[in-house]
Amino acid sequence: MTKVTCDLSISADGCAAGHGQTEERPFGDDGGDGSGAALHAWMFDTPEENRAELDLMAGAGAYIMGRNMFGPVRGGWDREWNGWWGEDPPFHAPVFVLTHHPRDPQPMAGGTTFHFVTDGIGAALARAREAAGDADVAVAGGAATVNQFLAAGLIDELRLHIVPVVFGGGTRLFEGVPPLRLEQVGSRAASGVTHVTYRVPR
Amino acid sequence: MTKVTCDLSISADGCAAGHGQTEERPFGDDGGDGSGAALHAWMFDTPEENRAELDLMAGAGAYIMGRNMFGPVRGGWDREWNGWWGEDPPFHAPVFVLTHHPRDPQPMAGGTTFHFVTDGIGAALARAREAAGDADVAVAGGAATVNQFLAAGLIDELRLHIVPVVFGGGTRLFEGVPPLRLEQVGSRAASGVTHVTYRVPR
């Protein structure tokens, strides 16, 4: 049985993004320039040290993300926007974007295709499972989307990457999620990050 | 130079206690019976595995705690209450309790004496430093008190013990604390807990 996984880099106060996100500052008040640099330093500054975690993140057969993670466009698709990641996004797989506004699939370089799903998280998960085949499905973020999936009991494995920065507020993991007993199945320290893997009981 | 330390067991969603604390349920809605059992299982169920962390916790020369950590009595000291810990509390050192209501020092067995401080966290810290001598001062909790000390820049080392349970709300570490860059100086997994030590820049 394939799993539904979620990797999320969070601040020590549990935020995946700060308040005040804009196109120029996609991570908002993140204690830096809004680029999320501190949250993701472990991926970009010390990738070899974190190879195992990065490989797991990259191993999903399909991804699901919220509209805010995909981009800053709100309401209808009234201007061209193909994600934050340039021509060759790092997913290399189908990505299902939750939105209220229909849009045709958007193929990108490197095997990524953005599909736009207007009928909710259950439908997005069904489509992602089908697309992923024998591979896992990953809920990529942001925290609000992860919280929806957690509250619905749809995530099997939550892999947190806890970074030593306090945002002082923002989009917080577990906000609105009912009480849960998790199972800690892995935990590992690296430079400037603690990786913790939880199994989420169904 | 001695340090001001803080050890805090927190849920995966960053809470040191749930909502709805009462005398019968000092940890409130903690996913269990309100006794904080899940939060503190690492201390009581697997102490040998966590000996290093427990020894550090026990090594302070004086402790500071908030009124709510000391007990459920609110307002004046209108009934006898000497803490949650029985005749021989686990501190074995002076404990400075923050309160708005004066009370004489309360000596207990085993070297613990509760002192009641009515003039704020700075005064409590000064008295605790003097009492601790060459040893560290520990801010024992709860989260609201820790947050006051963090916001005032008075904690040097924050040792979190992150437990695989989601409270879904409660008294949250870092609530109201302004943005901070921490330094992760240690991180270690044990059974059902991840220990992370942060140095807090002054």
* Residue B87 in tokens: 């005749």
pLDDT (tens digit per residue) in B176-191: 999 999 999 999 999 9
Asked whether residue B202 carries a pLDDT value surpassing 90, the answer given is no
Asked whether residue B1 carries a pLDDT value surpassing 80, the answer given is no
Average pLDDT over residues B30-57: 95
pLDDT < 70 positions in chain A: none
Asked whether residue B17 carries a pLDDT value surpassing 80, the answer given is yes
Which chain A residue lies closest to B164 (C-alpha atoms)? A182
Q: What is the ipTM of this complex?
A: 0.94
* B192 pLDDT tier (thresholds 50, 70, 90): very high
* Residue B181 in tokens: 């860059």
On whether any CB of chain A is under 8 Å from the CB of B194, the answer is yes
Protein fold of B4-75+84-199: Dihydrofolate Reductase, subunit A (3.40.430)
Packed helices A120-132 and A143-151: angle between N→C axes, nearest 10 degrees: 90
* Residue A24 in tokens: 């120029």
Percent of chain B predicted with pLDDT > 90: 96
Of the residues A166, A171, A183, A196, the best mutation for testing chain B's interface (the one with the most B CB atoms within 10 Å of its CB) is A166
Inter-chain touch A186–B189, beta carbons under 8 Å: yes
- The three-state secondary structure class of B106 is strand
On whether any CB of chain A is under 8 Å from the CB of B201, the answer is no
B14 alpha carbon, distance to own chain's centre = 14
Rounded to an integer, what distance in angstroms lies between the CA atom of residue B9 and that of residue A113?
43
pLDDT (tens digit per residue) in A105-163: 999 999 999 999 999 999 999 999 999 999 999 999 999 999 999 999 999 999 999 99
Average pLDDT over residues B81-89: 96
pLDDT of residue A31: 86
pLDDT of residue B68: 93
pLDDT of residue B53: 97
Nearest to B174 among A13, A178, A179 (CB): A13
Inter-chain touch A198–B13, beta carbons under 8 Å: no
pLDDT of residue A140: 98
Residue A98 is given by DSSP the state E
Nearest to A184 among B174, B181, B192 (CB): B192
Inter-chain touch A196–B38, beta carbons under 8 Å: no
On whether any CB of chain A is under 8 Å from the CB of B202, the answer is no
A141 beta partners: A65
Average per-residue pLDDT for chain B:
96
**Closest CA–CA distance from residue A154 to any residue of chain B (Å):** 16
Residue A182 is given by DSSP the state -
Does domain A4-72+89-199 fall under CATH 3.40.430.10? My reply is yes
> What pairing do the DSSP bridges indicate for beta strands A183-190 and A137-141?
unpaired
pLDDT of residue A202: 78
Average pLDDT over residues B118-127: 98
pLDDT of residue A196: 98
Average pLDDT over residues B95-120: 98
pLDDT of residue B169: 95
